[in-house]
Amino acid sequence: MTQEKVTRALFDDVMVPNYNPQQFVPVRGQGSRVWDQDDREYIDFAGGIAVNALGHTHPALVAALKEQADKLWHLSNTCTNEPALRLAKKLTDATFADKVFFCSSGGEANEAAFKLARKYAYDNTGPEKHEIISFTQSFHGRTLFTVSVGGQKKYREGFEPVPGGITHLPYNDIDALKAAISDRTCAIVMEPIQGEGGIIPADIEFAKEVRRLCDEHDALLVFDEVQTGVGRTGHLYAYETLGVTPDILTTAKALGGGFPVGAMLTTDKCAPSLGFGTHGSTYGGNPLACAVAEAALDVINTPEVLAGVNDKRAIFVEELEKINAKHNIFRDIRGGGLLIGAELIEEWHGKAAKFLAAAREAGVMILVAGPNVLRMTPSLIIPETDIREGMAKLEQAIARVIEAGPDAE
């Protein structure tokens, strides 16, 4: 039987159209380089949206996967396993947390976090303490609960009625938060740097006031570190950068270095509210996933890798500023560590996707964060030569888009 040739066109025939992938199909990667079906090479500044924290086919991750593949793939949650326990111990040793819940994605981690926040309030106060405060432009996942907590209406439209008891406030607005929080608030949920919302960092004073208000009103502070976690900002988790400790933290993306895995981290104070039978995940704690995640954590949580993140950021910012000096295309360059956002000037608002497509044609993979911001989330160990070569390609792409104009088809 002859196997049908796989092309980008096949996506339109067989896949639900919730994605619109670019017009090429990558087939292999090495480090911060990717090759497509035609053996065309790309420099990867996208990193699988902050997932491939050690690039592609990192030898430590490949070795961990191969070793575990010969041992044990999956168990039901009626059993535990060694990789899951080792990973949990390393996460609790390295963070504020005492307990870990494993799952398969960031959305699942956030679902668990929000359920825990409400259950903790129910157990310790009563059903009236159930309100969650989140922030506009935030993103927390695609389940009905997480998309409701997320502060972007476009992701909720058409799925109503959505869960209630959720308030969205302006990010970094202390006065708005003071006016909204009450003794009915069970949790405040925030990203240390809003990712999908445009790479917007939390003000340190705002984050500290969020912590103080949570303590005052006996509410839990939930940090969504799905995108900012596991070295992305130059610390293992970004709460360390802010000097603010949450009660619950969610992590995924870079945790597995490309293998699907997520986790919710919390304290001994909160953990008992997710008692036996209250929550679960079929693949949570999967031995393959946890073995790879343990290897990724071992490599990333080192002084060399973490210190290198901000050194590499400085090169990205330097190159973006050179591009801006030449083309006057960026209104702002922001973010933290290797979570980098370059907001386009107002004339180009709504046109970020044009630059993504042009970059791909030039041989560099980037992302957008909404319609106005170019986003880069590369490997934490990307070589300087790859950064500078990739930025040269990006400059060529930007020049072509500007030459064509914002209204070009």
Note the pLDDT tens digit of each residue in 275-297.
999 999 999 999 999 999 999 99
Q: What is the pLDDT of residues 345-383, one digit of tens each?
A: 999 999 999 999 999 999 999 999 999 999 999 999 999
d(CA 409, CA 405): 9
d(CA 270, CA 124): 10
Question: Annotated active-site positions, please?
Answer: 139, 224, 253
Strands 185-190 and 220-224, sheet pairing: parallel
d(CA 340, CA 278): 38
d(CA 79, CA 166): 36
The domains found in the chain, sorted by start residue, are 8-58+303-404 (3.90.1150.10), 72-300 (3.40.640.10)
d(CA 138, CA 133): 11
Q: Is 274 left (phi over 0), alpha (psi -120 to 50) or beta?
A: beta
Q: What is the pLDDT of residues 192-251, one digit of tens each?
A: 999 999 999 999 999 999 999 999 999 999 999 999 999 999 999 999 999 999 999 999
Q: What is the pLDDT of residues 72-123, one digit of tens each?
A: 999 998 999 999 999 999 999 999 999 999 999 999 999 999 999 999 999 9
DSSP 306-328: HHHHHHHHHHHHHHHHHHHHHH-
Residue 107 near residue 224 (C-beta atoms within 8 A): no
- How is residue 56 written in tokens? 């592609």
d(CA 296, CA 313): 21
C-alpha distances in Å from residue 254, one per residue of 116, 159, 229, 263, 268 = 23, 29, 7, 11, 25
The SS3 assignment for 222 reads strand
Q: Considering only CA atoms, which of 334, 368, 331, 333 is closest in space to residue 353?
A: 368
Q: What is the pLDDT of residues 108-161, one digit of tens each?
A: 999 999 999 999 999 999 999 999 999 999 999 999 999 999 999 999 999 999
How many other C-beta atoms can be found within 10 angstroms of the C-beta atom of residue 397? 21
- How is residue 365 written in tokens? 């993979």
